[in-house]
Amino acid sequence: MSAPDLKDKVIVVTGGAGFLGSFIVEKLREKGAKKIFVPRSKDYNLIEKEAVVRLLKDQRPDYIIHAAGSVGGIGANQVNPGKFLYENLMMGSQLIESCRHVPVEKLLILGTICSYPKFCPVPFKEEDLWNGYPEETNAPYGIAKKLLLVQAQTYREQYGLNSIYLMPVNMYGPRDNFDPHTSHVIPAIIRKCIQAKKQGDNKIICWGDGSPTREFFYAEDAAEGIVLGLLHYNGKEPVNLGTGQEISIRQVTEMIVKMTGFQGDIEWDDSKPNGQPRRCVDISRAEHFFGFKAKTALADGLKNTIDWYLKTQS
């Protein structure tokens, strides 16, 4: 599969200093990219249109990967529905609009698994994206991201903007966000187990009842898929990125408990929301369109993530 030479391409990665973005930048360098620019919010607040226009004028990018976002777990989504909707919509929408006025060769937009209907048939197929309302706790975030797909498709049709849209599933890995107020499930459980072990606690408390399923995607694999999409995909249809493997929250919690060496009990707080009942995506488009298949087994990815977190605590 031939690919464009990235050596002389100017590539802007929004969110490139963040969790996933840092892996994307590394993958781009592995593929030969030399001219990568990561905008910081203190210099370019992408919620403001003036800053987006200035970014494109200053950098004159050939490619843009839009990985920036306001994100968090179920708790953060419950507390910030308006903030997450507004900031994600503004960042993405103004970037797409600004790109049609300058000669950007390609724009890659990262969507989210949260855009799928709450009761979507499993595995989630891209053609089912519009067949229902998203799960309530993350619907504002998911809808904001889904609107960017519509904008990308209509701007392709009307203005010829080459923009593609990829939807990664729940990501985890080293460098993840372990903040107790905003983290997603895997870093939250890792943190709870390690803290409980240190403090001699005899139990950890987890949200929900443990029955929902998720598909967990190692961030380095996700970055590989994103860069392959940038290099090889030029279609208008959204594309799932994931592993195609489903596991319950209860099962992954038990794995983390065992791997961290926590000896206590798991208490499930079913007064807290479960979130979407099931999540697992059909990964056939990504493999067909740009040859992507995830490599990292969940057990290996969890071990790497736990080891990384322990190093940050020492």
- Looking only at the bridges linking them, the beta strands covering 213-214 and 247-248 are antiparallel
141 flagged as catalytic: yes
The one catalytic residue among 141, 155, 233, 309: 141
Phi-psi region of 71 (alpha: psi -120 to 50; beta: other; left: phi over 0): beta
CB atoms within 10 A of CB 82: 8
Angle, alpha carbons 281-25-113 (nearest 5°): 20
Q: Quick one: tokens of 68?
A: 């920036």
Q: Give dist(CA 152, CA 105) in Å, integer.
A: 14
Q: How far apart, in Å, do the first and last CA atoms of the chain sit?
A: 44
Q: What is d(CA 35, CA 103) in angstroms, rounded to the nearest whole number?
A: 17
Active site residues: 141
